[in-house]
Structure 1
Amino acid sequence: MIVLGRNFVRTHLTHQDTIPLMRRAMMALSRGETIQPLRSILRMEAGRMFGVMPGALGPRGVFGAKLVSVFPGNAEQDLQSHQGGILLFEPEAGRPVALVHAGEVTAIRTAAASAAATDALARRGASRLAVLGCGEQGAAHIEAISKIRTLSEVTVWGRSFERTQAFARRMGERTGHAVEAVEQARDAVANADIVCTVTSSADPVLLGSWLAPGTHVNLVGSSYAGPVEVDHDLVANSRFFADHREGVLAQGAEFLAAREAGLIDDSHVVGEIGQVYAGSLTGRETPDQVTVYKSLGHVVQDLASAQHLYERALEEGVQASEF
């Protein structure tokens, strides 16, 4: 079995590679070609969680599981919030062939999936990006979105203005974009064409009334039923897409909260992003429409990434260990 650590993942799983990987994985999911039960989440104290995500890329494709802990407080210790591994099995004899660093894959594939959705749903000329949240996903989303749109403006907001300023400086140096830190979330999104919410907040940090017509929003930070990053108004007045309909109906916190408030029903989920990629579902209908992509993250994304990395490892002659 080959063990692929964080540095290998960071080097060989680029956004340029991962964005098309995510498109293909999500189209396969929407076509029913993959096998993916709902994830199992063990909730612990202080917002800590442990998740088990099994799946297969088709009945004869690679299969496996991601085992991952989520510790929100890790950011204060300069550690990734997601810790764990993706165990990849080959389909011929059912052998485990690779163990891949789950935290780094999660960081890259989540942002790449948002970028693919943004490419499909945002207006062609969208160039002003606002990111709410200054952690690892904030950084990854700026990098990924810049691969599918030419960004003229990047604005970031976080709960600590001092940390937001430091984040903006780092991202400006890393990407070459002018990244501006602001003290109020409302100011960050006022002129944005694209908004990404990547916080760990339990309560809304973004209100629908703040958005300009035609904005596209990626809801990313909440990955289970409970914490909500946006208010009911934004959900109810948007064209709302799921990464996976079954997952959002069961675990999409913002959708569930708006439904519980009686503002929408299940039909408000227009469909899955994979259907938009395949051309079987219309994405944006009008220039002034607010579109939303709800990201929960799915094991097919992890498995597609792990398979790509395993194949690269074989090409480079990475040695396997006995298992």
Structure 2
Amino acid sequence: MIVVSKSEVREIMTMSEAIVLMKETLADLNQGKSEMSLRATNQLRDGNFYLLMPAYLVEKKYFGVKLISIFPTNHSVGMPSHQGVVLLFDASNGKELAVIDCVEITALRTAAVSAVATDLLSRKDAKVLGFLGAGVQARNHMEALIRVREIEKVLVWDISIEASEKFAKEMKAKHGIDVVTCKNADEVVNMSDIITTVTLAKSPILNGKSLKPGTHINAIGASARAYREIDSLAVSKSKFYADKVESCMSESSDFLEPLAEGIISKEHLFAEIGDVVLGKKLGRENDEEITLFKGMGLAVEDIATAAYIFEKKRKLSLL
């Protein structure tokens, strides 16, 4: 069994590779080539919790589980809010193969899935990219999304002005694209062609009144029932896609709250993004639609990424 550290993950796998892999992984899941159970959420004290996320790659002959802890207040003490490992096994004989730090795996695969959705659902001429949240996921999402659209300008808002300013400075230097901080979330929403929400907000920060026609939204941060980023009006105005219907119906307050209010019905969830990849369901149909991708994060994404890293490290004769 090998151990792969956080720093090694990005040495082995690029964002471009992750995007290609996640497109394949989403298609495999919707074709029955892989299987997964809904993650188990386990509550700790003081609003902290941890998740167990198992998956089985039937055709690739791997299975595994991600164990990840989520401590929302860790940033105040200089620690990441998400920490954990992915355990990878050989499905042919049950042998343990690898323990891989999941922080970078989670960051890579999450942004890569959003890039797949953005490529399928955003306008082809989208030029302005907006972020609500300026943390690790915003940085990874910028790296991913500029690979699927020719972005000319980036807007960012965060509850911390310092975080927004730091993001703008770092991302402009790294990617050579103009990055502008905004005074509030509505500014970002009103002026962006593609909006990505990557916060730990417990009440909506994206106001549907500020949305313009043709916008695409990646709703990523609120991946548990305690969190919500998108208001009911924005959801009702959107053509709604999910990574997995069961995950969305089980845990997404972004969807379940407007459903409970009677503003939408279950049929408002138009399709899984894997079905759009496979051509079974339509993506964007015109330049006026508002599209929304709700990414809950799937165990198959983690295990597929871990298997890719394991195989590439073996291929490079590093094992």
The reply on whether 1:41 has 2:49 as its aligned counterpart is no
SS at match of 1:139: helix
Q: CA deviation at 1:93?
A: 1.0
Aligned residue for 1:261?
A: 261
Q: CA deviation at 1:161?
A: 1.4
The reply on whether 1:300 has 2:295 as its aligned counterpart is no
The reply on whether 1:112 has 2:112 as its aligned counterpart is yes
The reply on whether 1:194 has 2:174 as its aligned counterpart is no
For the residues of structure 1 that align with 2:265 and 2:191, how far apart are their CA atoms?
30
Distance 1:80 1:10, change over 3 A: farther
The reply on whether 1:71 has 2:54 as its aligned counterpart is no
Asked if structure 2 preserves the Cα contact closer than 8 Å seen for 1:134 and 1:164, the reply is yes
Asked if structure 2 preserves the Cα contact closer than 8 Å seen for 1:81 and 1:103, the reply is no
- Identity among equivalent pairs (%): 36
The reply on whether 1:86 has 2:86 as its aligned counterpart is yes
Q: CA deviation at 1:166?
A: 1.7
Aligned residue for 1:96?
A: 96
Asked if structure 1 preserves the Cα contact closer than 8 Å seen for 2:12 and 2:313, the reply is no
Can you list the C-alpha shifts for 1:174-206, whole angstroms capped at 9, x where unaligned? 221111111111111222110000000100111
For the residues of structure 1 that align with 2:140 and 2:248, how far apart are their CA atoms?
23
**Equivalent runs, 1:194-213 vs 2, <5 Å:** 194-213=194-213
SS at match of 2:180: strand
Amino acid at match of 1:32: G
Q: CA deviation at 1:46?
A: 3.3
Structure 1 stretches of 4+ moved >4 Å: none
SS at match of 2:155: strand
Q: CA RMSD in A?
A: 1.2
**Equivalent runs, 1:1-323 vs 2, <5 Å:** 1-58=1-58, 61-319=61-319
SS at match of 2:262: coil
Asked if structure 1 preserves the Cα contact closer than 8 Å seen for 2:18 and 2:109, the reply is yes
Q: CA deviation at 1:317?
A: 2.6
Asked if structure 2 preserves the Cα contact closer than 8 Å seen for 1:19 and 1:116, the reply is yes
Asked if structure 2 preserves the Cα contact closer than 8 Å seen for 1:161 and 1:182, the reply is no
Can you list the C-alpha shifts for 1:282-307, whole angstroms capped at 9, x where unaligned? 01122100000000000100011101
Asked if structure 2 preserves the Cα contact closer than 8 Å seen for 1:35 and 1:59, the reply is no
Amino acid at match of 1:46: D
Q: CA deviation at 1:79?
A: 2.8
SS at match of 1:159: coil
Can you list the C-alpha shifts for 1:20-74, whole angstroms capped at 9, x where unaligned? 1111111111223221111000122333110000110126621010011011222
For the residues of structure 2 that align with 1:112 and 1:47, how far apart are their CA atoms?
28
Amino acid at match of 2:46: A
Amino acid at match of 1:45: R
For the residues of structure 2 that align with 1:216 and 1:23, how far apart are their CA atoms?
18
Structure 1 stretches lacking a partner, 5+ long: none
Q: CA deviation at 1:230?
A: 1.0
Q: CA deviation at 1:266?
A: 1.1
- How many positions carry a matched residue from both structures? 319
For the residues of structure 1 that align with 2:163 and 2:66, how far apart are their CA atoms?
31
Structure 2 stretches lacking a partner, 5+ long: none
Amino acid at match of 1:268: H
For the residues of structure 2 that align with 1:107 and 1:160, how far apart are their CA atoms?
21
Asked if structure 2 preserves the Cα contact closer than 8 Å seen for 1:132 and 1:185, the reply is yes
Asked if structure 2 preserves the Cα contact closer than 8 Å seen for 1:75 and 1:135, the reply is no
For the residues of structure 2 that align with 1:90 and 1:202, how far apart are their CA atoms?
39
- What TM-score, normalized by structure 2, do the two folds share? 0.97
Asked if structure 2 preserves the Cα contact closer than 8 Å seen for 1:165 and 1:181, the reply is yes
Asked if structure 1 preserves the Cα contact closer than 8 Å seen for 2:135 and 2:163, the reply is no
For the residues of structure 2 that align with 1:303 and 1:47, how far apart are their CA atoms?
27
For the residues of structure 1 that align with 2:236 and 2:290, how far apart are their CA atoms?
10
Q: CA deviation at 1:127?
A: 1.3
SS at match of 1:258: helix
Can you list the C-alpha shifts for 1:123-154, whole angstroms capped at 9, x where unaligned? 11111100000111011111110111111110
Q: Does 52-61 or 251-260 show the bigger shift?
A: 52-61
Amino acid at match of 1:4: V
For the residues of structure 1 that align with 2:9 and 2:105, how far apart are their CA atoms?
7
For the residues of structure 2 that align with 1:209 and 1:61, how far apart are their CA atoms?
47
